[in-house]
Each structure stands twice: as C-alpha cells, then as structure tokens.
Amino acid sequence: MWLLSVSLSFVAGVALATTGHDSPSVMVAVAAGIWLLLSREKPPRGAIVLTLCLVSMLLGAWRYEHSIAPTSGPALSFYNSEARVSLSGRVDDHPEVDGPYVRVVLDDVAMWSGDSAASVEGRVRVTLRHETAIHYGDTLSLAGTLEAPRNFSDFDYVAYLERQGIQSTMFLPTVLDVASPLRSTPLVAVYSLSDALKSSLDRAMPQPQCSLGQTLLLGRRDSLSDGVRDSFARAGAAHMLAVSGLHLAIVTAAILALALAVLGRWHYFYVWIAIAGVVFYVMLTGMRPPVVRAGIMAGLFLFAELAGRQKHGPTALGFAAAVMVFVEPILLTQLSFQLSFMAMAGLVVLYQPIRSRLDALLERMNPDSDRHVRLLAPCMDIIAATVAATAMTLPVIARAFGQVPMVGLPVSLLALPVLPFAIAGAAGVASLGLISTTAAAVAGWFAWLPLTFILSVVELASRLPGASLAVGSPPVVAELMYYALLLLPGVLWHQRPRLRDERRHAKPEDVTSTPRLWYAVPPLLLAVVLVWSAVLDAPDGQLHVTFFDVGQGDACLVQTPEGHTVVIDGGLDGAVMSHHLGSSLPFWDRSVDLVVNTHQHEDHLCGLMPLASQGRTGCALYPSFEPETELHAQWMRALSGNGIEAVAAERGGLFDFGDGTLLEVLGPEGSSDCSDCDDNSVVLRLSYGNVVFLFTGDIAEEAERRLCHSAENLDCTVLKVAHHGSDTSSCAQFVAAASPDIAIVSVGADNSYGHPSPDVLKRLATSGATVFTTAENGTIEFITNGRTITVHTDA
C-alpha cells in the first residue's frame, strides 16, 4: 500500500503547485482523500510511509515549478506583423487535418531573418493550407510571419498552447521544403504504419463508419466530422472517442487470448507477447495521455502476473498517474487526463461494490435460477462499469462544460457491448488493406454493422429532448461532498475482505451449460442484417439528386435509376463531404462514376480531395481555365497518382448513363478567353424524362448572358442558383430563360458575404420558383420518376 500512498502524494504535490494556474481543486481533494484513507500503517512503518509521502509531495511541487517553460526568449524579437522569417523544424506529432487546413507542431526549431538568427523557445504551431504529404518526423522549411499567440474573448488560448510547450504560431506560411528523416526511428516506423492503416480504412469503408473506426482503433480523429463529434458530446458518449483503458483492455485481452491459444502458458511467453503488444499499441495510437496511463496500468498487471504477485488496481492507477505527471506535470490540468483518471478511479473503487449489489439484486429476484445469473453476467459487468465511470466523471464534466449528459448511461449500456466488435472489425479491415484492397472491402461490410449501430444509438440519443442538463460550474464544496458520499461506501466495501472473497469465489451449483446452438445466433443475425441492408440500399428505379448542407459551399450527389453516381463539387471540408456520401451511398458500393469540379475555389474543390485519394472514381470532369492555382494542381496530381481519368469540360459534352439519364455540359465554352474562375465554372444540364436540373457553379452575370445566347434550352425544373445567391449572379434575363419551378441556394448560415442576396430571392420568387436554402432546410433531396418530383429536407 505504500507505493499507492507515495504515488498519490506526488500527484497531490503537483496539483497543489498548480494553484493559480487553473488548478483542478477537486483532483487535489480526491487525491489527498484517497491518500489519507489508504496510507494508515502501524508504527514504525507508518512513520516511514508518512515521511515518504511528505517528501513525494514536495518533490511533486518542485517538479511542476521546474517544468514551466520560460515565457520569453530570442524569438520574441521576430514577432512583427511586417517581417517575414524563415524557419525549419521537425514535425512532432501526427498532422491534424481541419477542413481546408492542416496543422502541425514543430520542435527543434531554428529561425532566421536576413542575417539575424535565433533559436525559438518552445515549439511552434503551424497552420498550412490544405493537406499535403507531411508525416511525423518530417523536417519542414517554411517562410512566413511568426506570431505570438493571442487569447480569445472566452478562451485562454495562450495558456492552452503553453501547456503543450507552444509559444509561437505561424499561419499559412510558404512551404519551402519537406524532408523525410534520413534514418527511420522506431517511432517514425510505427507512425508510418498508423498512416498506412488509416489509409486502408479510407479505401475500404464508407464515412462516417470509416472515421469512427480510425478513431476507435488508432485514436485518429482528423476525419471525424464536427457533426459526429457533437452527437457524441450531447449523448454523453465522448469518452468512447478517446482511446483509453477500455480500448487497451480489449486489445490486450485479444493478444493474450491469441498468445495462449498458440503457445499456452509455456515459460510465460504469452505475458511477454502481451507486454510487447501493449507497448506497440500505445505507440501506434500516438502515445496520448489516456492510452499511456492505461498502458502503464496494463504493464503493471502483466508484470504482476510474471512475478506471481497480487494485482492491486488502486496501486496500478496511482503509480500510472504519478509516472505520467512526473514526465509531463502539466497533464494534471488537462481535461482529458482528469476524465481518464476519474473514470478509472471509479472502476477501481466502485465497480466491485456495484457489481456485488447487482448480483444480490438478481439473486433476490430469481433465487432458484443460476443459469440466468450466468447468462446475465456480461450485462451486469457492463452496467457496473458504466455506472462507476459515469458517476465519477459527472462533476468534472459539469465543471468543464457547464452541463451534464442525461442519456449517457443508457447510451453506454447499448454501445459498449458492441465496442469490441467495432474495434476488432476496424483492425481486421485495416490489416487486410495492407495486403488486398478487395479483401479489406469485403471485411468492411462486416465491420460496417457494429460501427453503424454505435453511430445510430449516439445520433438518436443526441436528438432526444433534454439529452443534456445545464447546471453551470458546481461549487468546490459541492464537488467535495459529492465525492465523499460517492467514495466512502466503496472504500468501506473494500475493507471487508472476507465478504468480498466469499462473493468472489462462490460458484453456482447445477449450472446448465449453454447449448452450442446459441453460438451460431450472432453470425446468422449479422448475415441477415447485412443482406437486408443491401436490399434496402439497392437502386429503386428513380433519380435521386441530393444537395448536401456543407456550409458556405456547393456539394451535390446524383444517383441514377440504375445506380450510377455523379458527385458535383464537394464543399470546403473533406470530412463533412465524406460523411454525407457515406450516409447516402450503399455500404457495399462506394464507387463514384463521375466527379465534377465546377471550378477551383476551395468551397467547391476541397471536399473532393478524399475521393481522389481513395481511388474509387471512374472519371473526373474539370474546367479548362487560366491561371491555375496550387489547389487545382494538387487536385490534378491526386487524380493522376490514383489512375483517375481527368477530362476538361467544354460545351457540348454529353454523358449518357444508359437508363434515361443524360448529363450535358453547357459551359464553359472552349473559345471563351475569360480568365475569371467563377465565370468559367462548369455548367451542367441533367435530364430524366420531363424533369431537368440545371447546375450553374459560381457563374456571374456575364457568363449567364452568354448561356442565354448560346444554349438552345435553359428551361429547368430545379435550378441550382449560381454563386450561393450572390447579387452578381441570377440576372433577370437568365432567371426568365431558366424559368425554374424550384430553386436551390447552397449557402452557409449567417455567412459573412450576405448570401443569398434579397434581390436574387425576389427575382426567383417573381419567376414563380419555390426557394430552398441549405442554411434553412439542411440537406435537400429530390426524388423523381421523370414525371413527378418529391422533395425531402432535414428541416
């Protein structure tokens, strides 16, 4: 018990030293309380333990004070909005993709401006435009403006960066060079494998199931859309997105089971294999605080197995926390660490008492049925673990977010039993993808089901009224009383070893074994669900045209009666677009026959980048214009690198899908010498029976007038309004020529451009068109049989 006392004393010393630095006071009180309860020893051992605790607490305070990075240095002289500097540094973590940007943290930074040179204190956070081929360990050479971080009105951004050792930022610099490391270190190799596994999932699975699988297996959240993140947060299931003890326990159990099956218990090799697997998985997931803490705990348990010593959960937890805080004291102030620590403390202290109570309740309800006790044991485990972790983290969540989730418990009860299957499925798909994309795609069908189930449960729960309750930040006294009332029964229960051991070793009598037929039920159920899902996703013989809500941008999906697919623009964020496509396309067929980029602006092209990288596109249509931007050049390189045919769009082009659906290119005209990117947008006319859709990109009045003179027929049923309803487009002549029954404005809510223009809306209304906007109506889907048309909206 002395190791636990000393470990928690060190953590308490660090926490006390953070006073005035956004200290988590509840963490201090809880650590001190557990220390006082568990450090009672008889003299003279008690005096020795208390002395060690005092020294450990002082050491913790000293460690924190000496870990604070200096706030000034030679680099500060270069913080000038007028001066550009050059710097080089090593990428210190996985690049973080956020819409059209990629963010990296540089370490070992050298900087110079003209003849002056200086070293940069701390690390530098760099925001680059668009995702490029940057990986962990690369050395970047950049030219740009170095800036000191500034706080937001409601967020201490400077302190947030300082906790990560970041004291400088650079926004959209020029990339001079990207150099890969000359010698591959073990960590670089593991991170490269993580990138390869992530790419395997990208190629094999649809979104958002793919991004959820990447998050659960690899801890890679950069492909996870904001909508999915918000749903998990509102449903009280955000903890499932952080690779932590639960995920590592599943992986460790799988490794142990496999090693025992192959090697048995011969010379404890199965333990060494499990230890190596734990270390490798911690590195693979980026060595983030929750998984490192879980890895240390798992390592202690496995070493205890080798030594034949009793495994003690509180000791493992306390020691893991002390080691992590010693390496990086600032972790104690980070929300992810606090949530991880408190959740695990709940499992250590409260799980067994709750589980014992549930067993007693079940026995009282049905005392003569031991078989029911055995069958319901896994359910009791999940309920006990969920209640324990949820109860311990509620005050931390309330203090951090000012609200507590009300549906978190039932969501966890439904989703956690499926989590092992989701992680195992994602692991199988990612591994097979390194060998065969086809095999991975087939395996992806089976991984798709548990991932979809988790997403569906979370999405449904997040939409329930009262999914979260606003409580504000609770007073410290209230938190202390809450934890005292919560922990005291659990601690007292652990002080009753005789009763605990009797319950633990009790064996039910005359337990009838489960019939072997039951083991065939899960795979049969899985097969039935997959078959019915495929049947429901099959083409229905009608034309579907869906305008996605991607904010301030354009994105549309066309699905023909026989299942051919056309994507027209992709918005600003590839994760958002991938999420929409994954929800609309069948899980068993994610191929796209034709991708159209109407013009090269970010709000139309950025979201198409994942389609090029996944290599599942048959053909890409692009406008021929000058000048060419770096973004368009990157798009063309991605198409060429993945063997996708790229065709320049010119007036007169025709795509016949063989099922009555015709897609005609009306613009730009090949002879046009207009250099304006918007006016050279690809204009398309999609017809099926008597129903016509007109897609206009971002053309302005000049291009509209040219179309009125050159196009034989602009009359349409549905008009995609040009340039998000800008007042430079949709002139009266063009609106009269198109004469739409329905007009769609793809636009972001509360955008800074003032789109759509009131004058444009007035002209459309005067023409008799019914106007829908993605800002007000969300995603808008049209379904037609060629004669009539049906509209479905999110709002």
Using one digit for the tens of pLDDT, what is the confidence trace for 149-172? 877 766 667 777 776 778 788 888
131: pLDDT strictly greater than 70:
no
Per-residue pLDDT reduced to its tens digit, 690-734: 999 999 999 998 889 888 988 778 899 999 999 999 999 999 999
CB of 673 closer than 8 Å to CB of 667: no
Per-residue pLDDT reduced to its tens digit, 510-563: 444 444 444 455 555 656 665 656 555 667 789 999 999 999 999 999 999 988
How many residues are there in the chain? 795
267: pLDDT strictly greater than 90:
no
Alpha-carbon distance of 688 to 660, in angstroms, equals: 6
Q: In the prediction, which pLDDT does 739 show?
A: 92
- Which range has highest mean pLDDT (6-10, 668-672, 762-766)? 762-766
User: Mean pLDDT for the chain?
Assistant: 78
569: pLDDT strictly greater than 90:
yes
Q: Cα dist. 377→300, 490, 594, 755 in Å?
A: 27, 21, 52, 58
- Which range has highest mean pLDDT (128-137, 217-226, 735-744)? 735-744
Per-residue pLDDT reduced to its tens digit, 230-252: 888 888 787 788 777 667 777 77
Alpha-carbon distance of 485 to 467, in angstroms, equals: 26
Q: Which residue has the tokens 């969300």?
A: 778
Q: In the prediction, which pLDDT does 498 show?
A: 47
Q: In the prediction, which pLDDT does 506 show?
A: 47
Q: Position 564: which residue type?
A: H
Q: What is the mean pLDDT of residues 50-63?
A: 78
Q: Position 316: which residue type?
A: A
Q: In the prediction, which pLDDT does 72 show?
A: 45
H/E segment holding residue 687: strand 683-688
Show me where the domains of the chain are located. 2-65, 74-183, 191-474, 537-793
Per-residue pLDDT reduced to its tens digit, 606-622: 888 888 877 678 899 98
Give the list of residues 6+ apart from residue 597 with CB closer than 8 angstroms, or none. Answer: 569, 570, 604, 605, 608, 620, 621, 622, 623, 635, 682
Q: Whose CA is closest to 635, among 35, 100, 77?
A: 100
Distance from the Cα of residue 147 to its chain's centroid: 28
Buried b (16+ CB within 10 A) or exposed e, 685-710: bbbbeebbbbbbbbbbbbbbebbeee
Q: What is the band of 228 on the pLDDT scale with cuts at 50, 70, 90?
A: confident
Alpha-carbon distance of 756 to 774, in angstroms, equals: 11
Q: Whose CA is closest to 356, among 521, 529, 490, 197?
A: 490
Q: In the prediction, which pLDDT does 117 show?
A: 65
219: pLDDT strictly greater than 80:
yes
Tokens at residue 244, please?
Answer: 């932590």
* Secondary structure letter of residue 67 according to DSSP: T
Q: Any idea which of 192-206, 210-224, 428-442, 502-516 has the lowest mean pLDDT?
A: 502-516
Q: What share of the chain is helix, strand, coil (3-state, %, to 5)?
A: 50, 15, 30
- Higher-pLDDT residue of 417 and 89 is 89
Q: In the prediction, which pLDDT does 522 show?
A: 58
Q: Any idea which of 341-355, 499-513, 758-772 has the lowest mean pLDDT?
A: 499-513
Q: What is the band of 371 on the pLDDT scale with cuts at 50, 70, 90?
A: low
Per-residue pLDDT reduced to its tens digit, 424-438: 899 999 999 999 888
2.60.40.1120, 3.60.15.10, 3.30.70.3270, 3.30.70.250: CATH of 537-793: 3.60.15.10
Tokens at residue 227, please?
Answer: 């909508």
31: pLDDT strictly greater than 60:
no
Q: What is the band of 179 on the pLDDT scale with cuts at 50, 70, 90?
A: confident
Q: Any idea which of 427-431, 544-548, 576-580, 583-587 has the lowest mean pLDDT?
A: 583-587
Q: In the prediction, which pLDDT does 432 show?
A: 93
* Secondary structure letter of residue 154 according to DSSP: T
CB of 602 closer than 8 Å to CB of 678: no
Q: In the prediction, which pLDDT does 726 show?
A: 92
Neighbours of 1 (CB within 10 A): 14
Per-residue pLDDT reduced to its tens digit, 378-399: 667 777 777 887 788 888 877 7
Buried b (16+ CB within 10 A) or exposed e, 757-793: beebbebbeebebebbbbbebebbbbbbbeeebeeee
Phi, psi of 654 (to 5 degrees): -140, 135
Q: Whose CA is closest to 556, among 508, 613, 591, 594?
A: 594
Alpha-carbon distance of 246 to 217, in angstroms, equals: 11
Alpha-carbon distance of 697 to 691, in angstroms, equals: 20
Per-residue pLDDT reduced to its tens digit, 433-472: 999 888 888 888 888 889 999 999 998 988 888 777 777 7
Please, what sign has the CA dihedral across residues 559, 565, 566, 570?
Answer: positive
Alpha-carbon distance of 311 to 291, in angstroms, equals: 20
CB of 716 closer than 8 Å to CB of 684: no
Give the list of residues 6+ apart from residue 516 with CB closer than 8 angstroms, or none. Answer: none
Distance from the Cα of residue 770 to its chain's centroid: 37
Alpha-carbon distance of 217 to 454, in angstroms, equals: 14
- Coil, strand or helix at 22: coil
Q: Any idea which of 114-118, 194-198, 411-415, 685-689 has the lowest mean pLDDT?
A: 114-118
Q: Cα dist. 390→386, 519, 766 in Å?
A: 6, 32, 57
CB of 696 closer than 8 Å to CB of 687: no
Going by their DSSP bridges, the two strands 139-144 and 174-179 should be labelled as antiparallel
320: pLDDT strictly greater than 60:
yes
> Mind giving me the DSSP string for 646-665?
EEEE-TT-EEE-SSSEEEEE
Q: In the prediction, which pLDDT does 62 show?
A: 80
Alpha-carbon distance of 397 to 762, in angstroms, equals: 48
Q: What is the mean pLDDT of residues 586-602?
A: 86
Q: Beta partners for 129?
A: 101
For 74-183, give the CATH class: mainly beta
Q: Cα dist. 248→275, 276, 679, 750 in Å?
A: 12, 13, 54, 43
227: pLDDT strictly greater than 50:
yes
Three-state secondary structure along 446-477? HHHHHHHHHHHHHHHHHCCCCCEEECCCCCHH
Sheet holding 742-745, edge to edge: 654-656, 661-667, 683-688, 691-695, 718-720, 742-745, 770-773
Per-residue pLDDT reduced to its tens digit, 64-113: 777 765 544 444 445 555 567 888 888 887 788 776 678 888 888 888 76
Per-residue pLDDT reduced to its tens digit, 283-309: 888 777 667 767 776 776 677 666 655
Burial of 195 (0-12, 13-18, 19+ CB in 10 A): middle
Q: Which residue has the tokens 């569906």?
A: 456
